Amino acid sequence: MKTKSIKLYEAGNIDNMKWEETDLPDPSSGEVLLRHEFIGFNMIDTYHRSGIYPTPEKPCGLGTEASGIIEDISKDDIDQYFKVGDRVAYAGSGSGLGAYSYKRIIRSKDLIKVPDWMGLDIAAAILTKGRTVEYLFNRTYNLKENEYILFHAAAGGVGQIAGQWARSIGAIAIGVVGNKNKEEYARKCGYKFVFNMEDHDIVSEIMKITNNKGVDVVYDSVGLTTWNISLSCVKKLGLIVSFGSASGNPPLYDIAKDGIKNSAFIHRATMVNYMTSSKIARDSAARVFEKIKNKEIQLNLNKNYQLKDVKIVHRDAEARKTIGQIVMKV
């Protein structure tokens, strides 16, 4: 069976992504053939493409998140947990990169059933971003009512969910956005205070809000251009969580020079180290789905792109021109 997929032969710029026709084998034991319906875009996709994050031996695929319909199951797995026709989704799976494709063979253990009430477009957008917020707020740090957080890229895909989740807890969320045009959008997503990088002294504003104490937790997915702000806004013995590098990796941290300021705890969070079993991954997804079903989280899906437009998606995202959760129709 043939399919079309993106292949990356060398890390680097956007044009290094190449469409190729490939042959798919029949699913082996523990595998299914999945027909993709929607592909979720995440900034980590640009990290894999550019080389910020290492990828497997090349050529390799790209993309970590998608939803679709099971078309075939290995004969060894008939009458098991999944069946042909099931609506499923996956994100950051142990099956590796390869979501930028029309069909793929994938391990069944990496799949999550999509509830009947949920659209496949939502399923393709929520697993990476929603479960990221779930572990950041529940396991990286147990966020509680009336605690202050600073969340960078508040108008982005993860940021939108984080603001709403924080509001549902009763935490006080301060959001930072790239420009003034994104401020109102972030406020609608649950942030009590929003500042843009263009015309605000963010450190000074946050110190006023927190009576010069700083925030309990900083969540920084931007990296290079926001790291000094993060170090300056956290309270003494607070926590700074780096979970992305949209502007490049954070500068090297001098523990003697930088650490003495607030003696903050520094943590690098990544999905692979939090989703270490099928049960953990599915339990995390269940908590996210519950938030959506209870309308504590509502998504603003960005469906302006199709999978064939993936190069444009990367270009727009890296230029910070996008808002909301991008899902590409296959």
Q: Give the residue extent of every domain in the chain.
A: 2-126+299-329, 145-268
Alpha-carbon torsion (270, 272, 273, 276), positive or negative: positive
User: Helix 43-50 to helix 310-318 angle, to the nearest 10 degrees?
Assistant: 100
pLDDT per residue as tens digits for the range 148-183: 999 999 998 899 999 999 999 999 999 999 889 899
Q: What does DSSP assign to residue 108?
A: G
Distance between CA atoms of residues 171 and 162, nearest Å: 11
pTM, 2 dp: 0.88
Identify the pLDDT of residue 226.
Answer: 95
pLDDT in tens, the chain (330 residues): 899 999 999 999 999 999 999 899 999 999 999 999 999 999 889 999 999 888 888 999 999 999 999 999 988 766 578 999 999 999 986 778 999 999 999 999 999 999 999 999 999 999 999 999 999 999 999 999 999 999 999 998 899 999 999 999 999 999 999 889 899 999 999 999 999 998 889 999 999 999 999 999 999 999 999 999 999 999 999 999 999 988 889 999 989 988 888 999 999 999 989 999 999 999 999 999 999 999 999 998 999 999 999 999 999 998 878 877 899 999
Q: What does DSSP assign to residue 139?
A: I
Q: How many CB atoms lie within 10 A of CB 116?
A: 6
Distance between CA atoms of residues 269 and 274, nearest Å: 8
Pick the CATH number of 145-268 from 3.40.50.300, 3.40.50.720, 3.90.79.10, 2.60.40.10: 3.40.50.720
Helix (H, G, I), strand (E, B) or coil at 166: helix
Closest residue by Cα to residue 64 from 104, 16, 32, 122: 104
CB-based burial label for 10 (10 Å; 0-12, 13-18, 19+):
exposed
Closest residue by Cα to residue 106 from 79, 58, 69: 69
Amino acid identity at 259: G
Beta bridge partners of 88: 68, 113
CATH assignment, 2-126+299-329: 3.90.180.10
Distance between CA atoms of residues 213 and 235, nearest Å: 5
Distance between CA atoms of residues 56 and 195, nearest Å: 38
Residue ranges of alpha helices (H) inside the chain are: 43-50, 120-135, 157-169, 183-188, 202-209, 227-233, 271-274, 278-293, 310-318
Identify the pLDDT of residue 320.
Answer: 76
Distance between CA atoms of residues 217 and 209, nearest Å: 14
Contact (CB, 8 A) for 21 and 2? yes
pLDDT per residue as tens digits for the range 249-302: 999 998 998 888 899 999 999 998 999 999 999 999 999 999 999 999 999 899
Distance between CA atoms of residues 238 and 236, nearest Å: 5
Identify the pLDDT of residue 79.
Answer: 55
Contact (CB, 8 A) for 297 and 161? yes
